[in-house]
Structure 1
Amino acid sequence: MDNLIKLAEKIKDKDLREKTISLLKDPKLSNPALACKPLKIEDTPGGFPGFEHHMEKGGLIKHTEGVTLLAMQMADFVEERYGTVNKDFVITAALLHDIMRLYDFDKIGDEYSLQDNLLEHEELGACELYARGFPEEIVHMVLKHLKPEGQGLEGTILHYADSVDSFSDFYFRELSGHECGCECCHDED
């Protein structure tokens, strides 16, 4: 979690940085009528049954860090070659795109199962960002991060960073039968 806060500190806009850090540290829902029960962020996997990427304890943190780092590199590349990118929006949306995954799962023993929620994590995330006064562009990026259609430049960067990180973990863990070899996978040893 400390790494996510360090990445959030790279957001130049003070208000946006403070809102992002606040939500990372306290991802409670503003609407008490929603009956979802969250896992702790440290316990939440990054994927879901059916697309099992980052399914280990702490997988959401690992995935979020990977997406954010990759999105920042992509934003730098695009800016060097083509023009201005709102990097604050990229960093914020990357850090928060899956924050409501905490509300997707129940954990029984070592197994995760999906809660029966009406709202998907991206919808719940967009609702919470809206309630907390985040810019509309970031709300849209989080809501639509699973699809590139209708996204602006920053949203497209987020979508592809999310896809590359997710599929890379899925490939190395599931398809090849090997861990990815990064130090994150070996921290638990």
Structure 2
Amino acid sequence: MYDCIEAIKQKRLKKINGETFLVSEKHILKARNGDEYVGLKLKDRSGIIDAKIWNNLLHLKDKFEAGDFVKITGESNYYNDNWQVIIKDLERVEEEDVDKKAFLPSTQKDISKLQSELLGLIDSVKHPGLKKLLEEIFTDEEFFERFSHAPAAKTMHHAYVGGLIEHTVSVGKLASQVALAYKDIDRDLLVSCALLHDIGKVYELDPMTFNYTTEGRLIGHIVIGYTIVHDKIKALGLLNREKEMLLLHCILAHHGEYEYGSPKKPKTKEAVLMNMIDMLDSRMQPVVDAKVDESSGWSDLIKIIGKAIYAPKKSKELL
């Protein structure tokens, strides 16, 4: 199954006979001539590929929904600079008959180690109110389990199982180090915001399809996270008003600009640093993990930075 999508992308596979995929998206669309068709995205842990159903719509279009597993018969073709699958027939597969993990990309890091690192960052916070706040949020077993296996994004960065905790730990460690490089930075405030800034993504993204939930579409992870933290502060009475405002502002401003979905622009030293650190990690992960052609040394286009990178294979000749 894993070879299927990889082979399609390498332009070798033409037919698909009985392979099983996760449907990450499904849309009923109309062609230029007015004919209805189904556009969808098929997924396994090796990647995502576009697919279409042109024929036999009455029989096929209501047999599955986004989030379902389907067994496909069809063939691939090359259209608009992309490979796609033209589906001739499909059958829905019951969830209990598949290994869900086999269909989802996952962090290459040890999630249990990431959990330990996150808890270690919490333990490093000296401010009693901030530390208690972090403990109350992350020691909730159900939440911590969901947080530890959630993706950090749909496609752009850390878009895989465990991506959210990987991104959060990376940002937290950067925050802890960068805070020492500049004067008058509240290290505990910066690290606390780093650990809390994306917690709303637990509810913004569906853990199977990585699509946006209704809550994610209508409210978004920044406001969801702000609400979680605000309500917890009020319930526990942990912070004075000044510290509360500084932390909440840091969360609200971490995307930096209004056009990036930020409710506020950064207006404190910690908020400015938080935005920069978050941007650094979210852009470097796709760059570091980019697949590079061994013969040319060039990667494919990296969407989040809008360009390819040159990274020739290391050899003695290059040293």
Cα distance in 1, alignment partners of residues 135 and 148 from structure 2: 16
- Report the equivalent of 1:55: 159
Alignment check: 8 A CA contact 1:24 1:96 kept? no
Alignment check: 8 A CA contact 2:185 2:269 kept? yes
- Report the equivalent of 1:15: 129
Cα distance in 1, alignment partners of residues 270 and 201 from structure 2: 21
Structure 1: which 5+ residue stretches go unaligned? 30-37, 179-189
**Secondary structure in 1 aligned to 2:206?**
strand
Q: 1:140 aligns with which of 237, 249, 268?
A: 249
- Report the equivalent of 1:103: 203
- Report the equivalent of 2:24: none
Q: What is the root-mean-square deviation in Å for CA atoms of aligned residues? A: 2.3
- Report the equivalent of 2:191: 91
Superposed displacement of residue 43, structure 1:
1.6
Alignment check: 8 A CA contact 2:153 2:210 kept? no
Taking every aligned residue pair, what percent have the same amino acid on both sides? 23
**2:287 is equivalent to residue 171 of structure 1:** yes
Q: 1:45 aligns with which of 135, 143, 151?
A: 151
- Report the equivalent of 1:6: 120
**Secondary structure in 1 aligned to 2:207?**
strand
Q: 1:72 aligns with which of 155, 176, 180?
A: 176
How many residue pairs get aligned? The number is: 162
Evaluate the alpha carbon distance shift between residue 98 and residue 168 of structure 1 in structure 2; reply closer, same or farther with a 3 A threshold: same
- What is the identity, as a one-letter code, of the residue corresponding to 2:252? L
- What is the identity, as a one-letter code, of the residue corresponding to 1:13? H
TM-score, with length taken from structure 2? 0.47
More strand by share: 2
Evaluate the alpha carbon distance shift between residue 48 and residue 89 of structure 1 in structure 2; reply closer, same or farther with a 3 A threshold: same
1:51-96 deviation digits (Å, cap 9, x = unpaired): x211121111110011011112111111xxxx21111100100000
Larger radius of gyration: 2
- Report the equivalent of 1:24: 138
Superposed displacement of residue 173, structure 1:
2.7
TM-score, with length taken from structure 1? 0.77
Cα distance in 2, alignment partners of residues 125 and 112 from structure 1: 18
1:117-156 deviation digits (Å, cap 9, x = unpaired): 2211111111121111251111111111001633210011
- What is the identity, as a one-letter code, of the residue corresponding to 1:56? Y
Alignment check: 8 A CA contact 1:24 1:99 kept? no
**Secondary structure in 1 aligned to 2:210?**
strand
Structure 2: which 5+ residue stretches go unaligned? 1-114, 234-238, 258-264, 293-298, 301-319
Cα distance in 2, alignment partners of residues 9 and 102 from structure 1: 22
Cα distance in 2, alignment partners of residues 101 and 27 from structure 1: 17
Q: Which moved more, 1:132-141 or 1:154-163?
A: 132-141
More helix by share: 1
- Report the equivalent of 2:272: 156
Q: Which runs of 4+ in 1 moved over 2 A?
A: 25-29, 148-151, 172-178
Alignment check: 8 A CA contact 1:39 1:103 kept? no
**Secondary structure in 2 aligned to 1:102?**
helix
**Secondary structure in 2 aligned to 1:113?**
coil
